[in-house]
Amino acid sequence: MHKTKTIAYLILAVAMLAGLACTAEPPAAEPAEEETAAATEPERVSPHESTAATVGEANITITYGRPYKKGREIYGGLVPFAEVWRTGADEATTLESDRDLMLGDLHVPAGTYGLFTIPGESSWTLIVNKVADQWGAFSYDESEDLGREEMSVSATDAEVEQLTISVEPGEGSNATLSIVWDMTSATLPIMAH
C-alpha cells in the first residue's frame, strides 16, 4: 500500500510538471545587435549628417551634428566668441579626404581630421586637428593641430535656422568650404591636389 501511494504521488508530480512545462512561455529571443545598440544610444537632439563632394579627383566628406537655432542667440551667446568650438553638436566635426588638400594656405594630407573653429565678431579661424574622434571640444589639444587658417566672414541675407556645412565645388580642383548658421557665413577656399 505504501509503495502504491508513493508511485501515485510520483505520477501526480510528473503530470503537474509536464502541465507546467506546456503552459510556460518560451524563452525570449536575444535582440539583434543593431537593436541593442539602438536601444542603448541616447536619442540625439541635433541630427547628424555627412555632406560629400568630389573636388578634382578628391572625395571629401564632412560629418557633423546639425543644431537648430530655436530662437537662441548663437554667436556671442550659445557659441562664445574667441573660444574653440566643435563646429556642430555632440562629437567634433570631421573632415575626410582621400587626396591631399589645400584649405586656404594650409596643406592637409589625405586622411581624417577633427574640424574646429574659433568664431569672432568679424573673423573666424578654422582649426584642422589630427585627432578626429573627439567628443565636442572638451579634450581638444592645440598641440595636435595640423594647422589653422583664417576664414572669410559675411552676413547672410536671411536667417539660417539649422547649422549647415557644405563643400561647394568650383571649377577644376577648386571648391569652397562653407559654414552657415543664424545670420553668419564663414568660408574658406579648398584646392585638391
Domain locations in the chain?
A: 45-192
Q: State the pLDDT confidence band at 40, using cuts at 50, 70 and 90.
A: low
The pTM for the full model equals: 0.76
Query: What backbone torsions phi and psi does residue 55 show, to the nearest 5 degrees?
Result: -120, 115
Per-residue confidence band for 2, with pLDDT thresholds at 50, 70 and 90: low
Per-residue pLDDT tens digits for 50-100: 999 999 999 999 999 999 999 999 999 999 999 999 999 988 999 999 999
Other beta carbons less than 10 A from residue 47's beta carbon: 11
Distance of CA 82 to the CA centre of its chain: 23
145-169, strands of its sheet edge to edge: 48-55, 58-65, 93-97, 111-119, 124-129, 145-169, 174-192, 101-103, 106-108
pLDDT at 185 over 90: yes
Sequence-ordered list of residues with C-beta below 8 angstroms from that of 187, at least 6 positions apart, any chain: 151, 152, 154, 176, 177, 178, 179
Give 17's pLDDT tier (boundaries 50, 70, 90). Answer: very low
Per residue in 146-182, pLDDT (tens digit) is: 999 999 999 999 999 999 999 999 999 999 999 999 9
CB 65 within 8 A of CB 90: yes
Residues of the chain above pLDDT 70, percent: 77
pLDDT of residue 42: 62
**pLDDT tens digits, residue range 104-115?**
999 999 999 999
**pLDDT score of 11 more than 60:** no
